[in-house]
Amino acid sequence: MSPAVHSTPTSSSPAVLFDFDGTVGRSLHLWTEAMRIALAHHEIEMSHDEVIEYCFNRPFEQTIERYNIPCSKTFRDMIWKEVAELMHGVELFQGVQEVVSLLRSEGYRTAIVTNSRRSVVSPVLDRHGISSLFDTVIGEEDVRSPKPDPEPVLRALEELRSPPEHSWMIGDSDADIFAGKNAGTTTIGFAPNDNLKYSPLHRLKDADPHHIIDTYQDLPGIIFGRE
């Protein structure tokens, strides 16, 4: 990476938006465990691999309908409860702190845009001491329509006063890419080896992101136009 040139963001500064699960936090496996526990509570026994195949990266409604779960609220609440507890041990992907710090030093605004609840994600950022690296966190409770709808991305850009045509959306799933593209941003698919079991590369490629990376070290060169 090149040495950082310190800049002050302006009211029209570009933004780099990050998904959380599978992009900033190494947490995809926690979601499969939370779903497995919630399904078992409803007497639906599934292995982790079966949860990934039939339930993961799909709206809760599809799982609720497929397995005829009687109370959708109870099911959802149990998943969120388990995720919140499991998140206490989640780690960050290597390079997150260094790269986000570099982006900010170059004058970019930064934000988390996630389909997880802000109340679940923010404590993880606090625990790792990186909350101050993000100007805002847009979570499930902040929007009516989650990704792949562009609403969360547009909400973040509005808060940051950043133009979409000069901003970036980075995420590990096709939902992140569709949301970013429909909001008018440049998109980057994040596909480290750890994620491929949960977010197959072909599905990410089918969303046609502008770039795909598998490590944070590749991000500055793309955003700064050096690749």
159 and 135 Cβ atoms separated by less than 8 Å = yes
Radius of gyration of the chain (CA): 17
Q: What is the pLDDT of residues 109-139, one digit of tens each?
A: 999 999 999 999 999 999 999 999 999 999 9
Quick one: the chain helix, strand, coil %, rounded to 5? 50, 10, 40
* DSSP letter (8 states) at residue 92: B
SS3 at position 113: strand
pTM attached to this predicted model: 0.92
Task: Evaluate whether 84 touches 61 at the Cβ level (below 8 Å).
Answer: no
Whether residue 197 contacts residue 56, with contact meaning beta carbons closer than 8 Å, is answered with no
Q: Is 21 a catalytic residue?
A: no
CATH of the domain spanning 15-26+92-223, picked from 3.40.1450.10, 3.20.20.140, 3.40.50.1000, 1.10.238.10: 3.40.50.1000
- Identify the band that residue 3 occupies on the pLDDT scale cut at 50, 70 and 90: very low
Whole-number Å distance between alpha carbons of 32 and 48 = 6
